[in-house]
Each structure stands twice: as C-alpha cells, then as structure tokens.
Amino acid sequence: MKQPKHLNRKGLRFALIMLAALLITGCGNKIIRGASPMVRMTELSHQDNKITLQVNMRNLNGVDLDVQSIDISFSAQGDLLFAYNGSVDTVIAANGTESWTVEADESQTSRDLLNQLQNGEVKSLPYTLKGVIMSPEDGALRFEYEGHMYPLPGRPGYFR
C-alpha cells in the first residue's frame, strides 16, 4: 500500500524538528562546579630576607568559589623556596580571577638560588607551584603548575 506524498513529507518534517530540538537541548549551558582553580605565579621578589609571592587564582567554576585557606609551596630545582599554610578568606567570582600576595622568611637556599638567577649565573629556574585550596562547598581543591622563572629586567630582586 502506497502512502500519499504529503504524509511522508509531514513525517520527515516532524522527525527533523524533533532531532533539532534534541540537539539544541543537549547543547545548553552546563555550570561547572567543584573544579580546582588555576593558580599561577605572577611575581616573586626577595628583599630584606623576605620572599614575596604574588599569584593569580582563576575560578573555572560557573559559581562563586569561597576560599577559606590555602596550603601552597613553591619549589625551584627541587629546593623548597617558599611555603605558606593559612587563612585567605576571599571569594572568587564565577569565572573570575583574584590576585593574592603572601610573604615568608627567606632561607639561605632560596637566597642563593635567586641570586644566581639575578646575577645571570643561570638563565632561568624551573619551578613547581602546588598546593590545596580549602572551600566549604567543595572541600580540598588541589592545584599544580610547572614553569620557568626569569629575572625582570630593570627590577633587581623581582622575577616572573
């Protein structure tokens, strides 16, 4: 039995509309939650036996990230240059970035490595920045980043 052509076209049109509706709903916004932030060093300086570390914390989540505390370490060539474990108490807006600065006492190893870099004895220092951010909603969010540190031209004691 042969069906009229107008019924086949209606069926095909209906099938295409349903397929388009399914594809559109599958491509809707998905809010990211619980993702670890991207933490990157923006600057490190050493003066007066102190190391100051400035980092940017980028919230990859689609909701605000309440940062209560941070445990952070910064190592170069396998030697620990800097460590901090303490309160931060900041909120990073959804998909936003916050700068954060912390200071710690400089060790002799830190001073020697940074002076070698500043004096041109080495061109760069490979480093690892890692730690854990504590959030009441998401718990422990780990981060880690590896890069190379260089002296800032015209700014003795400052590195990026």
38-159 belongs to CATH 3.30.365.10: no
Q: What does the DSSP assignment read for 110-123?
A: HHHHHHHHHTTSSS
Phi-psi region of 26 (alpha: psi -120 to 50; beta: other; left: phi over 0): alpha
For residue 96, the Cα-to-chain-centroid distance in whole angstroms is 11
Give 140's pLDDT tier (boundaries 50, 70, 90).
very high
The predicted model scores a pTM of: 0.78
Distance CA 133, CA 69 (A): 6
Domain locations along the chain: 38-159
What would the pLDDT profile of 2-49 be if each residue is shown by its tens digit? 555 555 677 778 877 877 776 665 565 678 889 999 999 999 999 999
**Taking 90 as the threshold, does the pLDDT of residue 53 lie above it?**
yes
What would the pLDDT profile of 111-137 be if each residue is shown by its tens digit? 999 999 999 999 999 999 999 999 999
CB 131 within 8 A of CB 71: yes
